[in-house]
Structure 1
């Protein structure tokens, strides 16, 4: 779905969860932010084509963080492109995305609590998804793509979680730092957030940006005075 010229939501989902990777285009770059769950490559190909481009033309993938529903098709997309793909993520997420460390939410304790079948499935999905991060990004850095993409380190959901402010569109790609539920912008989901206190504290950084649109990975777009709503979320938790 096109939000604005050069800015598109890739609508993925199943019966349990909706996911919204972002596709950004300019004259030199075709950038995908996050990649959905494993085995959704066919749907991504279909959705990307709606923007008038091919998945084979993607030359950069930016990841908000390490969770499987965000990195799930990373390796598959790399294998199915004709370009060298630069993979970008916050420096703290790199070892988890490329498999140097097990994902934080796949700790031995959590894996042992699963059935053997579920445990083996999770490990197999992650092993099929992992790929090298070729460029790390840090808080406050501006990427010179598509009108400028500002990196905002927003730890809490995971230690290296990052949001991305798209200057040209005054749009915040929020990852899992916030969610949209029943049309309303809400904070990070406490069930899946490692450190809620830190996650709420991270939202304070967002008030420094001229945000007119928030795009949450789960829930999609929010445009109703987003900065005021972000401040409300912060105050509710203080």
Structure 2
């Protein structure tokens, strides 16, 4: 479970789904890479929002996360995909079929290339999915988005950044579509001063706003 009180006020009820993935040597660098993949279920006023759908076998974990929030598949109203990579859309068919009332969203440049059992609506900067504001954070992919809950200062960053050993880190350059735009996106999310950052790869870190600033000021 990932739930705590943000410095701006009330709790944002969130459940995470975590799976370890092994990336063979030569794909993201010379060495084998072991990383976790995280997606989230978030309780919102009009129903549960699922942020990313993980790898192709994430359905059971997402179902458990929804249940932990006191809901079932009929309570899932929105599915938001931070970007089009397989570790974020792998269980989309399964989740969409079990949550027939859920709208599906992704950033505009990514949305046409996401395979889905029904329409994926393009979503852009400033749009709201219930109480979650969409931020355009391109660079990892052209249509990468993050989500910000202003009331609790909670930021879902997808692959705009990750964490390792308690520090915020940049993603592997092998998976980056535009490093310059990715750096601009990092500066933008750091400027929000989030109280809490939830990554697609890596656990939460202490003082995330400070950790983001340190990472941006450090070596690439």
| TM-score band, normalised by shorter chain | 0.7 to 0.9
Determine if the alignment matches structure 1 residue 162 to structure 2 residue 168.
no
How far has the Cα of 1:218 moved from its partner? 0.5
* TM-score (norm. length: structure 2): 0.83
Residue in structure 2 matched with residue 143 of structure 1 by the alignment:
128
Residue 171 to residue 183, structure 1, CA distance change in 2 (3 Å): same
User: Which runs of structure 2 are paired with 1:10-159 in the superposition (5 Å)?
Assistant: 10-14=16-20, 16=22, 17-81=35-99, 83-98=100-115, 130-139=116-125, 141-143=126-128, 145=130, 148-159=131-142
Could you tell me how far apart the structure 2 residues matched to 1:237 and 1:151 are? 28
Could you say what secondary structure the match of 1:180 adopts? strand
Unmatched 5+ stretches in structure 2: 5-10, 23-34
In 1, the alpha carbon distance for the partners of 2:142 and 2:198 equals 21
Unpaired runs of 5+ in structure 1? Answer: 99-129
Which range moved further: 227-236 or 207-216? 227-236
For the 8 Å contact 1:214–1:223, the answer to whether it is kept is no
SS of alignment partner, residue 62 of structure 2 = helix
Higher strand share: 2
User: How far does residue 133 in structure 1 lie from its aligned partner after superposition?
Assistant: 4.1
The CA deviation string for residues 202-231 of structure 1, in whole angstroms up to 9 with x for no partner, is: 21111332411111111031232x223222
- Structure with higher Rg: it is 1
Deviation of 1:164 after TM superposition, in Å, equals 0.9
Larger helix share, 1 or 2: 1
Q: Does residue 206 of structure 2 align to residue 223 of structure 1?
A: yes
Aligned residue pairs: how many? Answer: 202
